[in-house]
Amino acid sequence: MAAQNPLLEVRHLRVEFPTRRGTLVALDDVSFTISAGEVLGVVGESGAGKSMTGAAIIGLLEPPGRIAAGEILLDGRRIDNLRYEDMRRIRGKDIGAIFQDPLTTLNPLYTVGRQLAETMTTHLPITPAEARKRAIGWLDLVGIPAAAQRIDSYPHEFSGGMRQRVVIALALCAEPRLIVADEPTTALDVSIQAQIIALLKSLAREKGTAMMLVTHDMGVIAETADRVAVMYAGRIAEIGPVRNVVKQAIHPYTVGLMGSIPPLDRRVERLAQIDGAMPRLSAIPKGCAYNPRCPKAFARCTEDRPDLLPAGATQAACWLYAGEGKTNG
Amino acid sequence: MPAALDLEFSPLFAFIISRILQALPVMLTVALISFAMFAYVGDPVAIMLGQDFTEAQRQALVQDLGLDQPFWVQFGTFIGNAIQGEFGLSYRLSRPVSDLIAERAPATLELAFCAAAVALLIGVPMGVYTGLYRHSWLSRFFLTFSLIGVSLPVFLIGILLILVFAVWLGVLPSFGRGDTVKLGWWSTGFLTWTGIKALVLPSITLGLFQLTLIMRLVRAEMLEVLRTDYIKFARARGLPNRAVHFGHALKNTLVPVITIVGLQLGAIIAFAIVTETVFQWPGMGLLFIQSVNQADIPVMAAYLLLISALFVTINLIVDLLYYAVDPRLRLGRGQGAH
Amino acid sequence: MTDTLRRFFDSDVWWSFTRSPITIISAIVALICILGAVFAPWIAPHNPFDLASLNLLDAFKPPAWTEEGERAYLLGTDDQGRDVLSAIMYGARVSLLVGLSATLFATTLGVTLGLLAGYLGGKLDALLMRICDVQLTFPSILVALLIDGVVRAALPREVHDQIALFVVIFAIGISEWPKFARTVRGSTMVERNKEYVQAARVIGVSPPRIMLSHVLPNVLGPVLVIATLNLGLAILSEATLSFLGVGVPATQPSLGTLIRIGNDFLFSGEWWITIFPGVTLIAMVLSVNLLGDWLRDALNPKLR
């Protein structure tokens, strides 16, 4: 690890949901870092814990979910144990958020200008008039045509793609250093997805904003992310530079995931598929969570849980790469 | 800029017109029911003639009342009269129904107004509070209280209040309006001390049930809205709780709450019948229940028409409030472009 | 059968029942009310309708625990020397009978019309929903009052007294059906477009059978919740009508009638004649409402 602190550091994060049939562990021992200006892609199937990780970072886990162990540090300062009011000052100002569905993320009863202005006046020492001027600037920046006129429009007067642009402006307008983008293009038309991703990417680069990009679209990751974390059943299976994870995946799960994407440069007879389904949180198997589906599983995989270990250019939680197999146990 | 003014007003105007047109069939249906009651239930001729009459007298009355005319002609006359406030004579009191209602209306309207004020001014804040702080002990207390409230029949609330405040403590009157002051044809109880004292127990009685209902509905709406993505997003933007709760959440609960409150105002008028019976309050409700007991059809028909006119008006006001709160209804504004 | 029972005791509904003391208490109170009402002729200490056993010397006796009370009359007696406790038990019988019948009537009517409107759609649907809209603008108590008033005016007094009970049941039932129809219609429209119903249609299952065996079971949950909450409301409506003197006939006094009769003696200090029937009414309705509330939450985990 470099001498300088990473922008965001998540250490051994564990999120639990108490239910009547016992406690569900939604996130288990999740650790990763994001450096300033870096884009970390987070991929995995639905329910793997991607969105949960994002919610934990911005401090908005849905009750009864709670952080049971681990720490989250922003600039070396713990933020997971802050009081609500202190965390509120960080949300929007230091960590921005983008949600999945732009049709439901904007308050239908207020104009987009008002929603932008209130976000800025909450976090920045500026007057309402200044906020309004900047709001027009932001709308312009995210590509809303005739921003000066559209600022007094209500959300329902915009299309889905335009609304997501407004959401992006809202997330960025207090100039946070980190954006948690939770599937920002999933709810959009395919034709618009690329535009939104391109916009996010260019804005993040321009403002030097780091981003945690949650998605299940490997194409988006390959295009946008610097590094990528693959999640499975509430744990990180593999994390590393995007090129290595995509081209030379180490973890059998990542290999399976990549094999199920049709390549563009050659024809294949049939795509690989992973048998079975991800286990429910209430029935995560002992040992490695992936062992029942893993083609390479061996005895140890059903007994001990693998930690993230350096394997080639990436880190993988897999016993296949545990040095000689036993030294690292 | 007169042109711009035109553009601002015309959708609202069209909106009002369309709502009135929608209300018209309802009013006509109610009028038809009223008329059918009037014309076919019981035998008005026999009731008005009393015991001794000749066939000629009977024929004369039938002609006089227009009962020999075809149905639709009679219905037309009925509506024409009703629009002029003419509902014939009460069988029971042999006085014009319109006079009876004009005498009684102020008492009922003042009572309903006070009850609605009690229900709204206390019910809405309680609903907001229990929605926001749903695990606090005060919320639990309010909720328990509200559940008892919706299970208490209006007349029992009245009886209990009378027992405690009139019989045992003897601090408030148990029946009547106290002294009233005439303002033109309107008699008001607001201007005398006894009039105000007389309003207290009936208003609480009538308002309590609505209060608990409004509180529960506002709470449910609040919980619903607090779960939405835009509230989560407002939190994710770091807005202070005050702005999230009262700026974003409360305003979004307003639309359904307005509907409910509109419906509840109707219910207040209906339950005024019960309250007025318990407190012998000389309003339209008491008049109505006496008419039901005595099968005094003209009064019942007039009351029904009047009440439905009132409901239709309330609904129109509700729709206008919607229009003011929710920009999505204000069509014709903005380009709606992509 | 045992399998069904086991599934029931393993279900979330049963689990949430055992976790809610208020619900258990409500169920017990409701059960006491129902048992007391149903078995009134056998367990009531006196027969309040047996004129021969009434003695005016026993009139206005206060409850047994007061100084002038008598042990024979636990909750005191009314102006005619009737035992208040027995009168309450017989009254609760009438209240429950009317409440249950009216709810059953409203449920049957509302579910049937809702199924038809939702499944067939078109003009019938538009017409039925319009009627619902209009009727829902009018508070149900007003509708019930009007129907009762009209029937009263249309029929001679003797005939009316004979069928008064049915008139009240009809009036309350007819004023409550739109709630059922709306809910059922909504769920039916959702179910109708699901694949399994489409499939049933394609293989030629007749519409009535599709409605009964595929659509109906799916809307029963919400109907059960509305019916429970509506039972409380129907009992209240009956009590209100009877209190206003237009409900059940005087020969079959319900709790509402008892309260009205007792109300006349409130000022002279005989509070027990009206308060005990009142408390019984509240206990009955409150317990039913609490059960309905619990049922709604238990069947709708999302709402918690």
Place of tokens 């029963």: C220
Tell whether A86 lies on the interface with B, counting CB pairs under 8 A.
no
* Spatial separation of the C-alpha atoms in residues C127 and C136, rounded to whole Å: 14
The amino acid that residue B37 corresponds to is: M
**To the nearest whole number, what is the mean pLDDT of chain B?**
83
B92 contact A CB<8A:
no
**Which of B196, B216, B204, B215 has its CA nearest to residue B154?**
B204
Task: Give the range among A86-90, A240-244, A317-321, C158-162 with minimum mean pLDDT.
Answer: C158-162
Long-range (24+ apart) CB contacts under 8 A made by C246-251 are C246/B289, C246/B292, C246/B293, C246/C145, C246/C148, C246/C149, C246/C152, C247/C148, C247/C164, C247/C168, C248/C94, C248/C98, C248/C164, C248/C165, C248/C168, C249/C161, C249/C164, C249/C165, C251/C161
- Asked whether residue C27 is domain-assigned, the answer is no
Which residues of chain C have a Cβ shorter than 8 Å from any chain B Cβ?
134, 136-139, 141-142, 145-146, 148-150, 152-154, 232, 236, 239-240, 243-246, 256, 259, 263, 266-267, 269, 271, 274-275, 278, 281-282, 285-286, 289-290, 293
Q: Do A97 and B247 touch (CB under 8 A)?
A: no
Contact residues on chain C for B41, CB-CB shorter than 8 A = 150, 153-154
Neighbours of chain C (3+ CB pairs under 8 A): B
Q: What pLDDT, on the 0 to 100 scale, is given for residue B292? A: 80
- A284-293 pLDDT, tens digit per residue, is 888 888 888 8
Query: Quick one: pLDDT at residue B336?
Result: 38
Across B195-224, b (16+ Cβ under 10 Å) vs e yields beebbbbbbbbbbbbbbbbbbbbbbbbbbe
Q: Which residues of B are less than 8 Å from C293 in CB distance?
A: 147
B29–C266 C-beta distance less than 8 A: no
pLDDT in the model for residue C1: 57
pLDDT confidence of residue B152: 86
**Exposed / middle / buried, residue A176 (Cβ in 10 Å: 0-12, 13-18, 19+):** buried
Min Cα separation A158/chain B (Å):
5
Q: Which residue of B has its CA nearest to A144?
A: B338
Q: Alpha carbon C91 to chain centroid distance?
A: 14
Q: Tell me: the pLDDT tens digits for A48-73? A: 889 999 999 999 998 888 999 999 99
C-chain CB neighbours of B151 within 8 Å are 232, 236, 282, 285-286, 289
| Residue B235 forms contact with A (CB below 8 Å) | yes
pTM for the model: 0.80
> Which chain B residues are Cβ-neighbours of C266 within 8 angstroms?
159, 162-163, 167
Q: How far apart are CA B225 and CA B248, in angstroms?
A: 9
- The answer to whether residue C272 is domain-embedded is yes
pLDDT tens sequence across B66-88: 777 787 888 888 888 888 888 88
The three-point CA angle B330-B333-B335 to 5° equals: 135
- C49 belongs to a structural domain: no
Strongest mean pLDDT among A173-177, B29-33, B38-42, B251-255: A173-177
How would you classify residue B88: left for phi > 0, otherwise alpha for psi between -120 and 50, otherwise beta? left
The pairing of strands A178-182 and A210-214 is: parallel
For residue A13, report the phi and psi dihedrals to the nearest 5 degrees. Answer: -70, 135
- Identify the pLDDT of residue A1: 43
pLDDT in tens, B212-253: 888 988 898 898 899 899 999 999 999 999 999 988 998 888
Per-residue H/E/C for chain B: CHHHHHHHHHHHHHHHHHHHHHHHHHHHHHHHHHHHHHHHCCCHHHHHHCCCCCHHHHHHHHHHHCCCCCHHHHHHHHHHHHHCCCCCECCCCCCEHHHHHHHHHHHHHHHHHHHHHHHHHHHHHHHHHHHHCCCCHHHHHHHHHHHHHHHCCHHHHHHHHHHHHHHHCCCCCCCCCCCCEEECCEEECCCCHHHHHHHHHHHHHHHHHHHHHHHHHHHHHHHHHHCCHHHHHHHHCCCCHHHHHHHHHHHHHHHHHHHHHHHHHHHHHHHHHHHHHHHCCCCHHHHHHHHHHHCCHHHHHHHHHHHHHHHHHHHHHHHHHHHHHCHHHCCCCCCCCC
Please check whether residue C132 lies inside any domain of the structure: yes
**CB spacing of B328 vs A108 below 8 angstroms:** yes
Q: Is A122 on the interface with B (CB under 8 A)?
A: yes
Q: Which positions in chain C touch B308 (Cβ < 8 Å)?
A: 137-138
**ipTM of the complex as predicted:** 0.89
How many other CB atoms sit within 10 Å of the CB of residue B143?
18
Give the mean pLDDT per block of 10 residues along chain C (304 residues). 68 76 88 87 78 71 74 75 84 92 94 89 86 77 80 77 85 89 86 83 83 81 87 91 83 87 81 87 91 81 44
Q: Which pLDDT score, from 0 to 100, does residue A180 have?
A: 95
Residue C180 lies in a domain: yes
The total of other beta-carbon atoms located within 10 Å of residue C213's CB is: 11
B147 phi, psi to nearest 5 deg: -70, -40
Given a cut of 50, is residue B27 above it in pLDDT? yes
pLDDT beyond 50 at B337: no
Q: What is the mean pLDDT of residues A80-93?
A: 92
Within-domain flag for C69: no
Domain of C262: which CATH number?
1.10.3720.10
* Chain B residue numbers touching A96 (CB-CB < 8 A): 236-237
Residue C275, domain member (yes or no)? yes
The minimal CB distance from B297 to the residues C134, C153, C266 is found for: C153
Nearest alpha carbon to residue A119 among B302, B34, B234:
B234
CB pairs under 8 A between B and C: 113
Can you give the pLDDT at residue A134? 94
**Are the C-beta atoms of A212 and A177 separated by less than 8 Å?**
no
Domain that holds residue C198: 76-303
Burial B5-22 (b: 16+ CB within 10 A, else e): eeeeeeeeeebeeebeee
| A77-78: strand order across its sheet | A22-34, A8-19, A66-74, A77-78
Note the pLDDT of residue C2.
Answer: 67
Chain A partners of B236 at a C-beta cutoff of 8 Å?
58, 60, 91-92, 96-97, 99
Answer yes or no: is pLDDT of B308 > 90.
no
pLDDT at C60: 72
Sequence ranges of the domains in chain B: 1-92+295-338, 98-293
Does A86 have pLDDT greater than 90? yes
Structural domains counted in chain C: 1
Higher pLDDT, C112 or B8: C112
CB contact under 8 A, A159 and B338: yes
Per-residue pLDDT tens digits for A296-314: 888 888 888 888 888 878 8
Q: What is the pLDDT of residue B22?
A: 78
**SS3 readout for chain A:** CCCCCCCEEEEEEEEEEEECCEEEEEEEEEEEEECCCCEEEEECCCCCCHHHHHHHHCCCCCCCCEEEEEEEEECCEECCCCCHHHHHHHECCCEEEECCCHHHHCCCCCCHHHHHHHHHHHHCCCCHHHHHHHHHHHHHHCCCCCHHHHCCCCHHHCCHHHHHHHHHHHHHCCCCCEEEEECCCCCCCHHHHHHHHHHHHHHHHHHCCEEEEECCCHHHHHHHCCEEEEEECCEEEEEEEHHHHHHCCCCHHHHHHHHCCCCCCCCCCCCCCCCCCCCCHHHCCCCCCCCCCCCCCCHHHHCCCCCCEEECCEEECCHHHCCCCCCCC
pLDDT at position A265: 74
pLDDT at B65 over 90: no
Q: What is the mean pLDDT of chain A?
A: 88
Sign of CA dihedral C275, C278, C280, C286: negative
Distance between CA atoms of residues C96 and C235, nearest Å: 7
Mean pLDDT over B12-33 rounds to 81
Cβ–Cβ of B293/C142 closer than 8 Å? no
Largest interatomic CA distance in chain A = 67
Q: What is the CATH number of domain B98-293?
A: 1.10.3720.10
Tell whether B143 is within 8 A of chain A (Cβ): no
Look up residue B148 and give its two tokens. Answer: 């008892």
CA–CA gap between residue C277 and residue B233 (Å, rounded): 53
Q: Which of C136, C149, C266 sits opposite B163 (nearest CB)?
A: C266
In the predicted model, what is the mean pLDDT of residues A18-43?
89
Q: What is the pLDDT of residue A324?
A: 39
Q: Which residues of A touch B223 (CB under 8 A)?
A: none
Among residues B330, B298, B139, B316, the alpha carbon closest in space to that of B223 is found at B139
What's the pLDDT band for A217 if we cut at 50, 70, 90?
Answer: confident
Confidence of residue B50 (pLDDT cuts 50, 70, 90): low
Residue type, A38: E
Distance from CA of B256 to the nearest CA of A (A): 14
The pLDDT-based confidence of B202 (bands split at 50, 70, 90) is very high
From the centroid of its chain, how far is CA A212? 4
Provide the pLDDT for residue B332. 44
Q: Choose the closest CB to B336 out of A104, A108, A157.
A: A157
